[in-house]
Amino acid sequence: MPQVSRLDVITTGARRRWTLEEKQRIVAESFSAPRLTSATARRHGLSASQLFTWRRRARAGKLAADDAGPVFVPAMVASERLTLADSRAGLMEIELRGGRRVRVDASVDVSALKRVIDVLEER
């Protein structure tokens, strides 16, 4: 019976969530010496392309505390209910990746909608 001389463990691509502090520490380490980006990525178990993205965001000032993740806001419940016929006028449905949908009417605040879609797309 032959003995196994090498065993490779293959991951299934499970996602890992990195805290803002971890991202900043890893990016700082990758900037510490030239040509260490790929080695730094391997050492921390992430792809080099992910680390390059973090580095680009750090240089642009987008890897900061306000980038820590989604923020929840309180929802307001209206006392009056719209009928199905009333709600169809000006209704727009946006389908996102993963089968998620966002429905808005013509009076939606565009900047708020953009923030909501950005948060949903990052998940």
Is residue 3 in a domain? no
Helix (H) or strand (E) holding 102: strand 101-104
- Domain contains 44: yes
Same domain, 24 and 51: yes
In a domain? residue 93: yes
23 — pLDDT class (breaks 50, 70, 90): very high
Domain of 107? 84-122
59 shares a domain with 24: yes
On whether residue 55 sits in a domain, the answer given is: yes
Q: Strand pairing of 101-104 and 92-95?
A: antiparallel
The answer as to whether 91 is a domain residue is: yes
| For residues 43-69, average pLDDT | 82
60 shares a domain with 29: yes
Residue 28 pLDDT more than 80? yes
Q: Is residue 14 one of the residues assigned to a domain?
A: no
Percent of the chain with pLDDT over 90: 11
pTM of the predicted structure, to 2 decimals: 0.44
- Both 53 and 89 in one domain: the answer is no
- Summarize pLDDT for 64-80 with one digit per residue, the tens: 765 455 556 666 666 55
Asked if 41 and 47 touch (Cβ cutoff 8 Å), the reply is yes
Does the residue 6 lie in any domain? no
H/E run at residue 96: none
Number of domains in the chain: 2
